[in-house]
Chain A
Amino acid sequence: MSPVILNTIEVILNGLMTGVMYSLVALGFVLIFKASGIFNYAQGVMALFAALTLVGFQTGQVPFSHLINVIFGTNYHNWSNGINTFLAIVLTMLVMIALAWLVERVVLRHLVNQEQIILFMATIGLAFFMEGLGDLMWGANIKVLDVGLPSGGSFWLEDVTREWASEGSEYYGMYIDVLDVWAAGIAVVLVIALTIFSQYTKTGRALRAVADDHQAALTVGISLRTIWVVVWSIAGFVALVAGIMWGSKSGIQFSLSLIALKALPVLILGGFTSIPGAIIGGLVIGVGEKLFEFGIGPLIGGATENWFAYVLALLFLMFRPQGLFGDKIIERV
């Protein structure tokens, strides 16, 4: 096979893997939007906050240590040498549930029946608050995250695919990051788990009822407030998974919150209310931007991925405003 074809396949594969990483972030947006109609601007910061908290538990860091030391003149930094990763993930999840409860109690409860734009603005405020809180709790330094996931190029794939190239051609085998493969596997498990939860559990059915019609759900006794806490908790869990995957690549630092920007075109393309849409949208954006960068990028100076994703989303917006899988909005006048 010609190396050009093999390289193109490699780009598509890596695009799919990158797309999965985008989808992980987009999923959190979809969950909250579906259940409450809120576009949660703070989803990226939630991923950052969850990852910071996870590393804090893993390393046994004292939260707010800088503040404590300044006020009391102490020198506390760590309360232990850390705890094992599984326990740290469980504790982080508890923190994200507590956060969801607080968000409902302090922010959302007071904004029931407000315009969507008001709720959106509230999540902008929440994003700034959480960014500052994360900084104050865990410090602004870059943290190394190791949850035991393997990373680096797959030797096996390289060796197998090297044989596929035409004889005499300079080809080094196909590359794929093992961490990306793990991310893809985890995303599949996550989507299956979310589907089972929403289809076969009582809370899941209540969640779908709220998503379909708030008023109707209220009339049959479903507590909107409980559902919001559940949804924000699940979004917190998804944020934790996204934070782990992205943070494993670059360390945990505040620019992690900017991954939310990568989820926007995915949402526009896949639809704000569809979990499969978030996955398919991520894959389309991932493959599209990588192929464009591979084929056209070198001709126009490169660095096309950021804007190309938005151009692709814009094209979809022109022909299918609700996205590939989004609910068509019909307003009767």
Chain B
Amino acid sequence: MKLRSLTAAAIATTLALGSGVVSADLTFPSLSYRTGAYAPNGIPFADGYADYFTMLNERDGGIGGAKINFIECETGYNTEKGVECYESTKGEGALLYQPLSTGITYQLIPKATADGIPVHSMGYGRTSAANGKVFSHIFNYPGNYWDAASIIIKHILDEEGGDIKDKNIALVYHNSAYGKEPIRTLEELAKKHGYKLTLLAVDHPGQEQKSQWLQIRRERPDYVLMWGWGVMNQVAIQEAANIRYPMDKFIGVWWSSSENDVIPSGSGANGYKAINFHGVGDDFGVYDDLRKYVVDTGKAAGDGSNLGTVLYNRGMYAAVLAAEAARTAQEIHGVAEINASQMRDGMEALKIDQTRMAELGLADFGPEINVTCESHGGPGQAAIQQWDAESKTWKLITDFAGADRDVIDALIAEDSAAFAAENSITPRSC
């Protein structure tokens, strides 16, 4: 009898463990990459994402009284592995996916939509997913690649006194779907402002870029923009420094904007600019709590050295936006234990003003967020940051500014309409 009881208990325990049932209420999977060629960028983002959720559990007991269950799955920045991670974790009650890869996002758009689980591709993925009428479960707030291209051109307009006619602007881009994203926008903006656009593709991984930079040296473009990732960024900045290209005329997208990209070039990278949709450094109240409840208690995902770096801030900001959306969903539906469908509703109704940002310990960290059924792209605002090689810090040198909505919204409408037609999607009425 005793043996039978013990066996039953063992079976029950095994089943409970095996089925992955956990006591937590809100499940947030993290498709991270801590290994492989892109790990230097994947690690700080994953640390920031994990640490913020840990802090909420430790400080507040979760979100709205419901504990957070955080599941990390290693993708190695590989699309197939990313999809496997999605498939293996969605049954755990996943509320939201942050794929951190344009390739994985493209694969998850139809899958997650069919499964009713929202995807937040924050500043990456398919740009036209900003159209909420077509992409019901995909969100890319607070900004997308086309916003980035437009805001960079606006910055150049400001620098040049509003006239960039006949200027030569070169785009050095990763020869992939991601790298090609801004081309259409830059071409449209070239028609509007009269600048000449030179396109320079760099093949993966971008370890060798001599030809591209010799061409830049010969043609002397007035500005060079970069859509790079991983080693491509470091090599491009080093080559630019080698040919003595003026760094304040070299502007990267937000995935070419981390400390990893500039530090290897030393003083040569001084003055390099990049666009960013959030604040830099760790001079924000939230960091006091992150240190107190997570780092100092030994519960941090990393060793605590990444706090305040650009990509850590971005991962942390992604978790803030996820937590705020969950809180909104709880308020809308009046329950603490929300499901994925309710989480989607929370994301679509997400509103974060500066008062709320200050309450979160993130005063002036980013622009106000206002997501609607029509627009899943958020404010589409970003600022320009500049690298100071001596102090090894980024500084925001502009305010958060918006994109050229006339151009961008038309492109989003066109691309999303094509996607809807291809996939027989009837746009929702909002």
Contacts and interface: CB of A to CB of B under 8 A. Distances in A.
Contacts of A254: 36-37, 39-40
A255 B211 contact: no
Interface of A: 7, 10-11, 14, 18, 21, 66, 69, 73, 77, 132, 135, 140-142, 144, 151-153, 172, 175, 177, 246, 249-251, 253-259, 262, 289-290, 293-294, 297-298, 301-303, 305-306
Given A152-B242, A254-B37, A303-B175, A142 B214 contact: no
Given A18-B210, A294-B211, A302-B200, A258 B205 contact: yes
B35 interface: yes
A36 B40 CA distance: 36
B34 A140 contact: yes
B241 A172 contact: no
Which are the 3 A-B pairs with shortest beta-carbon distances? A251-B264, A303-B201, A140-B39
B218 A153 contact: no
A258 B211 contact: no
Interface string B201-225: 1111101101110110110100000
Nearest to A301: B201
14 contacts: A10-B214, A14-B210, A151-B238, A151-B242, A249-B238, A253-B37, A253-B231, A254-B37, A256-B231, A289-B211, A302-B199, A303-B175, A306-B203, A306-B204
Nearest to A141: B40
Interface in B144-200: 175, 199-200
A289 B203 CA distance: 13
Nearest to A307: B203
A132 B211 CA distance: 33
Nearest to B298: A73
B234 interface: yes
B244 interface: yes
A45 to B, nearest CB: 12
B172 to A, nearest CB: 10
A254 B41 CA distance: 11
Nearest to A175: B217
Interface residues of B, number: 42
Interface of B: 34-40, 43, 175, 199-205, 207-208, 210-212, 214-215, 217-218, 220, 230-231, 234-235, 238, 241-244, 260, 263-264, 266, 268, 298, 303
Contact of B207 (A135, A151, A250): A250
Contacts of A172: 217-218, 220
A64 B374 CA distance: 50
A303 B243 CA distance: 20
A142 B40 contact: yes
Contacts of B200: 302
B210 A142 contact: no
B214 A14 contact: yes
Contacts of B303: 66, 69, 77
Contact of A135 (B39, B199, B217): B39
Contacts of B34: 140
A54 B36 CA distance: 20
Nearest to B241: A152
Contact of B40 (A18, A253, A306): A253
Contacts of A66: 303
Contact of B210 (A140, A250, A290): A290
Contacts of A290: 210-211
